[in-house]
């Protein structure tokens, strides 16, 4: 499992002219979100421990918005370069923070590949220690003027090389071996112009071609196209909100340990079914056991992570997000003692999730087992269904 992801968000976005004079390119609005928000949402289901944002131009703005924030189980760390280091030199700031393979993404392009497939294919080669990098490639059909790693070829042994005519193109998604840090110093250097060409010529790079949607928003034409696509996606994106206890796991008092967290029949298949249909899966759960001093937030997150890893291992299914409310009136732990808008039957968690994920209420359904779930859904303006006697898989299959 890869623990760290890195997003390069230091560029000035000069080709977008007035759009990036005051706004860093990754923070350009795309529908209801920023471009960077959209990337982070895509990464949430991979459960990285840390996601590093390598910032440069207007880096303080990015740091203020994202530093130490969490997206599901991933903590976001923003590192702002003190001097211009380029797409390669900025990675030098991570050499004492990362000691295993790590993913790197360009912060101005979107590539809808399955990272689990890319990671699995890459690991076979990177574990041999003969390679510094694995690169995800895409067919170069719309970027003929791009001269940066735009004419690449993959051998039968997956080794990358240059090709004279238009071949495959770098997508800006890489997995690096930690030994890449040996080639990077604390000075300005380009990943695309200097580091990658060298290790490609040295046959230290493998590549894999993916036929997935790709776009670089660095020019106005592409930005307009991507905004149009996201608007369409937001209008059609469906989401199922699940209560936890009694729907996902057996209702057994306060679930405060892994031993008591017993997954109900059909849950893994239900989630896998929704994943395949591109329907978001978000858990909404009251967890007053935290406020009552029965479990810490840290241990609650570990319990949730263990559940997510278990179902991913079983059938590659995944959860997009989890919202929980630790607050309760007269809580034993003082900081959780409040009458919170986020505690069901109040609608706070649902409304926050709808806003965070840019959802339309008409596209949302909640499945729960308590009247508090029904009331929260009603106050949020979304459809509600009680968990019935069927397995969760049988129930969601009838809905979709």
- Active-site residues, by number, are 243, 245
Contact predicate 360/381, CB 8 Å: no
Place of tokens 């900025």: 90
Q: CB within 8 A of 376, min separation 6: which ones? A: 284, 344, 345, 346, 347, 349, 350, 366, 368
Q: How many whole angstroms separate alpha carbon 24 and alpha carbon 9?
A: 8
Radius of gyration from C-alpha coordinates of the chain? 22
Torsion of CA 14, 15, 17, 20, to 10 degrees: -60
Q: Where are the alpha helices (DSSP H) in the chain?
A: 35-43, 59-66, 86-89, 115-126, 196-201, 220-236, 267-276, 288-291, 297-315, 348-356, 371-380, 392-399
Can you spell out the DSSP letters for 248-314?
Answer: TB---SS--STTT--BPTTHHHHHHHHHHTT-EEEEEEE-HHHHTTSS-HHHHHHHHHHHHHHHHHH
Contact 114, 89 (CB under 8 A): no
CA angle 360, 30, 341 (to 5 degrees): 45
- Among residues 41, 23, 7, 28, which one has the least CA distance to residue 234? 41
Q: How many CB atoms lie within 10 A of CB 339?
A: 10
Q: Which of 161, 120, 154 is nearest to 138 (CA)?
A: 154
Length of the chain: 400
Q: Give Cβ neighbours of residue 85 (< 8 Å, ≥ 6 apart).
A: 10, 56, 92, 93, 186, 187, 188, 189
Phi-psi category of 172—alpha, beta or left, where left has phi over 0 and alpha has psi -120 to 50? left
């Amino acid at each position: 499992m890869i623990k760290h992801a890195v997003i390069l968000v230091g560029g000035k976005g000069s080709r977008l002219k007035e759009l990036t004079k005051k706004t860093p390119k990754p923070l350009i609005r795309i529908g209801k979100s920023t471009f960077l928000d959209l990337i982070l949402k895509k990464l949430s289901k991979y459960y990285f421990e840390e996601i590093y944002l390598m910032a440069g131009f207007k880096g303080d703005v990015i740091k203020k918005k994202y530093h130490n924030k969490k997206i599901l189980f991933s903590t976001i760390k923003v590192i702002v370069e003190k001097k211009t280091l380029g797409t390669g030199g900025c990675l030098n700031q991570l050499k004492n923070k990362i000691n295993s393979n790590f993913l790197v993404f360009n912060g101005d392009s979107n590539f809808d590949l399955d990272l689990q497939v890319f990671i699995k294919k890459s690991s076979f080669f990177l574990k041999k220690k003969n390679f510094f990098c694995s690169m995800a490639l895409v067919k170069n059909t719309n970027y003929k003027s791009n001269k940066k790693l735009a004419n690449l070829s993959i051998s039968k042994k997956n080794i990358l090389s240059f090709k004279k005519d238009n071949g495959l193109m770098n997508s800006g998604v890489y997995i690096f071996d930690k030994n890449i840090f040996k080639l990077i110093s604390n000075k300005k250097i380009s990943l695309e112009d200097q580091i990658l060409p060298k290790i490609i010529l040295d046959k230290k790079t493998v590549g894999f071609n993916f036929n997935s949607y790709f776009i670089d928003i660095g020019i106005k034409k592409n930005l307009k196209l991507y905004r149009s696509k996201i608007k369409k996606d937001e209008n059609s994106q469906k989401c199922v909100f699940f209560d936890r206890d009694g729907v996902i796991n057996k209702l057994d008092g306060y679930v405060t340990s892994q031993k008591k967290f017993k997954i109900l029949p059909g849950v893994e298949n239900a989630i896998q079914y929704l994943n395949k249909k591109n329907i978001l899966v978000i858990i909404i759960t009251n967890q007053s056991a935290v406020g009552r001093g029965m479990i810490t937030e840290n241990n609650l997150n570990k319990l949730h992570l263990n559940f997510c890893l278990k179902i991913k291992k079983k059938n590659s299914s995944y959860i997009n997000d989890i919202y929980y409310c630790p607050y309760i009136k007269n809580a034993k732990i003082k900081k959780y003692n409040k009458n919170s808008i986020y505690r069901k039957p109040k609608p706070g968690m649902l409304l926050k999730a709808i806003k965070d994920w840019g959802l339309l209420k008409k596209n949302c359904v909640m499945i729960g087992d308590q009247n508090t779930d029904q009331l929260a859904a009603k106050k949020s303006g979304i459809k509600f269904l009680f968990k019935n006697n069927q397995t969760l898989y049988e129930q969601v299959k009838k809905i979709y």
